[in-house]
Structures are given as C-alpha cells and as structure tokens.
Amino acid sequence: MFCFQCEQTAGGKGCTGKAGVCGKQDTTANLQDELTGSLIGLARFVSKTAPTETTDRLMMEGLFTTITNVNFNDETLRQQIAELHQDEKVDMNTIWTADEDIRSLKSLILFGIRGMAAYAYHAYVLGYTDKDVNSFFYKAMNAIGEDSYGMDELLPLVLETGEVNLKCMALLDQANTATYGTPTPVTVPLTVEKGPFIVISGHDLHDLKQLLEQTEGKGINIYTHGEMLPAHGYPELKKYPHLKGNFGTAWQNQQKEFIDIPAPVLFTTNCLMPVKDSYRDRVFTTAVVSYPEMVHIDDNKDFTPVIEKALALGGYPEDTEFTGINGGKTVTTGFAHGTVLSVADKVVEAVKSGDIKHFFLVGGCDGAKPGRNYYTDFVKQTPDDSIILTLACGKYRFNDLDLGEIGGLPRIMDMGQCNDAYSAIKVAVALAEAFDCGVNDLPLTLVLSWYEQKAVCILLTLLHLGIRNILLGPTLPAFVSPNVLHYLVDNYALTPISTPEEDLKRILS
C-alpha cells in the first residue's frame, strides 16, 4: 500500500507495508485506490456520453468513501467497484510514482474533491444538488488520470477546486438552514442523564433528524459526538427535548471514551477509528461508513437495531458528569454567519471603539499526533481584546474554556462543522465591506489545523479567495512537494505554525 493523504501518515512521508497509521489494512487501501481508478474510468465514460443522477451519486459516494476514517470494509469497497461497471480503470500507482510536483498537484486536487464530495453528499440527501459541482468532479478526475498534464494545466485546477468547493459549501449551508433553520447560540451540557441513550457521531444532520424522530417517546436520550455538536444550534433539531447534550471530545479520543460506554454509538460519516473489542457490540454505521462485522443501517434508515441496543444496555444508573479537556462542564455552539451577522453592527462598533482589536479563526481538524496542544495554548494566550472564531473538531482543544465576553459577545464563538468555514468566510467578507477594505487588511488571522481531506478543500477555497498569511499545522502535508510549497509561500504567505508565543508576537506586532 501507499497512502499519504492524512496528517498522521507514517514518518511524515507515507504509509506503506501491511497497514496505515489510521489502522487501515493494505488490502483496504489498495481497494480504495482501485475504487479511485474506477472513478477516473467513470469520468472518462461520462465525458463520452452524459452524466446522470446515478453517475453523480456514484461519483460522490465513491470519493466520500475514500476519505480517511470512513470505510475499513473490503467487502463494501468491492461492491462499490462492481457497481461502477468500469472496464477502463487507472492504476493509481502511476500517479503515486509520477514526478513529485505533478503528483503533488494531482494529490491536492484529488484530496480536495474527496472532501468536497462529502459536503455534496450531505446536501444531496437533503435534496440539494449543483450541476457545476457535480460536473467538476468529472473534470477533476479526468485531469488526475491524464498523463500529459503538467504544472500549467494542473495549478489552475488546484485553485478551481477551491472555487468550486466554495459553491459546494454554500449549497450545503442552504440545504441545512432551509431544512433545519438558522442556527442560534446554545449552551450544551456535557453531563449524561441517567437512563438509555444513544451517541451519534459524524456530520450528517439528516441521519440525526431521523434518529430523533424514531426515538421520540421511547425514553431514550440522544447525545452528539465530535462534529455533530453544532446540531444543537439548529431550531428544527433542538426542538426535540431528548436531544440532551454532547458526549466525549474529538474523534481521536473515541477508543478511550467509548471503552465502557453503556450505550450504542452510531457513525454517520467519517471519524470512525478501528473498533476495540471493549465496545465492538455497540457500534453501528450508516451511509458510506463501514467496518467489518459492524451492524450497518442501510438507506431505509430503520434505526431499530440501535434503539433496541440502547434499551438493552440501559445507560448510566445515575446522572454522570463529564468535562472537556480543560475541565469545563459545558460547551457552546450555534454562532454561524446568520447569528454573527445579525449583530454585525455591535461587532463593527466594538472594533471602532477599540474593544475588539483582533479576530482569530482557530479551527480545523483535531488528531492524535503530538503538537496539537499548540492550539490550546494559543487560544489561552490570545489577548483579552480579541475574539476567537472556531469550527470543526479542532475546537475541542479549547471550546470548554471560559474566556469571558466583549460587549456581550463571547470571546469564543463556535461557528459549526468543518463545512461551516463558509460562515467564517461570509463574516470576513461582511467585515471587509463594513470597513471598506480587503479581507487581508482586516485584523484577522487564520490559524488552521489539518488532518484529512475536508481540511484540504477548505484550504484550497481560502487560497482561491486570495487569503494570505494563513498559519497551518501541526505539520505540513506530506503530499506537498518543495516546489509546490515554495509557490504557496511566495504567493499566499502560507506559513507553518511555530510556537504560540512566537506566532502571537509576530501577529500582534
């Protein structure tokens, strides 16, 4: 096997041999490569005929499946490959062994559209699609499989990936808010009440809504986990009284946090880790998530097996108190662009009066690799006259901190899931318009943590928008070649993190 698409890749170069650092076996990784090669074949087929709703779905699901921590199941991968019916397949080894700059650019495109496909899929299940987004998947896959393409053809396509992802995030934002309402701020407890409960992880609000409907009146409480936390801010979801709170922290802690949990856990998207024997009988998957020997809930979304397991396990005998990694007993969420822009006049006035001197967007993926305490320390050391916007699961490093308020606004504002980078972009653009300047002229610094492919497509979107001076960590991607990195540094001042003290001194000087 060869894989270097995530931040934890072995030696900072690539996972080879029998298994990857993520726990994926070589057979699984090779099947994912075969699936990707078949998707290139699908793109070539569509270029000669025409796309259909079926080919669009196959492309989205196939790309989504190959994101890190989604699918560990060889059987389901073989089924997807068979469903594609592609005789024309590309051997991905020809791409992984290509000239390093070509490989780097193709990797940026491929990993970017894998993340974008997840967002497109979430919108799709809510009935929202975009022709341009779907068409770009075929265009990008054709380019990845094209041997004759060089830097001149691939570099513009890297930036176009970011451009199309912006449209895709806007589509998902529209789908979520039209279906579930505009998020509003809410304080979410970390205590689990006594009695039966279910933990739901991932990103798919559609799955959560159906689970809430099916558990209504059954005496079962629902707790979010990981990237599902922002669901508490949506009016059409938080109206269910048995949506009680949040369990656990970020995805990489699940093997410790689930070890003796007296409840089932439903994984709706990525963030699944190899399942330990101590809780193997309590894990359920749905959609494109799959793990060998785990009960999978198919597209009919009948969650009866999950409900029965919750009732059988019974939950905790008494209310059980948990805390975040900094000891906090609650977290907040719901500060999407609808909320922040509704008080834009207060924000602008606070900046003009000097009460707010700087904005930091500190967010992205969390992970297990050492060095991520940087983000906790960075937030703790930010000045009292600054606002911290955050999103995605990286916020679990600090979202239980109480840093106070400025003019009635909390200093930490959770804008939502990784796809809600769209909210941060909307807010930044609105502030730039209010102060009649460019986004790069705002007192705003982006401090991003990356782990997997959704972070890649968001970074490409920020680059497409021309945003400079982004701090990225905890390490730079292994798939970015020295020449490509040099281009990003020269053109966008993309900078690796150093220490919180040094970075803050430089930012605020």
Pairwise CA distance, residues 4 & 204, whole Å: 26
User: 501 among the known binding-site residues?
Assistant: no
| Confidence label for 370 from pLDDT (cuts 50, 70 and 90) | confident
User: 418 among the known binding-site residues?
Assistant: yes
Mean pLDDT of 432-451: 97
Per-residue pLDDT for 85 more than 90?
no
Helix (H) or strand (E) holding 189: strand 186-189
Per-residue pLDDT for 458 more than 90?
yes
Give the SS3 label for residue 335: coil
Pairwise CA distance, residues 101 & 192, whole Å: 50
Look at residue 172 in the predicted model and tell me its pLDDT: 98
In CATH, 2-180 is 3.40.1030.10: no
Pairwise CA distance, residues 341 & 338, whole Å: 6
User: 437 among the known binding-site residues?
Assistant: no
Look at residue 65 in the predicted model and tell me its pLDDT: 98
Pairwise CA distance, residues 22 & 455, whole Å: 17
Q: Provide the token pair at 300.
A: 């009919």
| Confidence label for 360 from pLDDT (cuts 50, 70 and 90) | very high
pLDDT above 70 as % of the chain = 100
CATH 3.40.50.2030 boundaries in the chain: 186-313, 335-508
Pairwise CA distance, residues 69 & 473, whole Å: 20
User: 168 among the known binding-site residues?
Assistant: no
- The answer to whether 379 and 401 are in contact (CB under 8 A) is yes
Q: Average pLDDT, whole number, for the chain?
A: 97
| Confidence label for 87 from pLDDT (cuts 50, 70 and 90) | confident
pLDDT single digits (tens) 312-336: 999 999 999 999 999 999 999 999 9
DSSP letters, 80-131, are HHHHHT-S----THHHHTS-HHHHHHHHHHHHHHHHHHHHHHHHHHTT---H
Class of domain 186-313: alpha beta
Q: Provide the token pair at 382.
A: 């930010």
Per-residue pLDDT for 293 more than 90?
yes
User: Where is pLDDT greater, at 370 or 39?
Assistant: 39
pLDDT single digits (tens) 394-425: 999 999 999 999 989 999 999 999 999 999 99
Q: Which residue has the tokens 């986990």?
A: 225
Q: With the CA atoms of 390, 392, 393 and 395 taken in that order, what torsion angle do they form, in degrees rounded to the nearest 10?
A: 0
pLDDT single digits (tens) 243-269: 999 999 999 999 999 999 999 999 999
Pairwise CA distance, residues 34 & 406, whole Å: 53
Pairwise CA distance, residues 254 & 245, whole Å: 17
Cβ neighbours for 16, distance < 8 A, ≥ 6 positions apart = 1, 2, 10
User: 452 among the known binding-site residues?
Assistant: yes
Pairwise CA distance, residues 497 & 221, whole Å: 41
Per-residue pLDDT for 66 more than 90?
yes
Q: What are φ and ψ of residue 188, in 5° steps?
A: -110, 120
Write the CA distances from 462 to 4, 6, 113, 429, 451, integer angstroms: 22, 19, 15, 12, 17
Look at residue 79 in the predicted model and tell me its pLDDT: 97
**Topology (CATH level 3) of domain 335-508:** Rossmann fold (3.40.50)
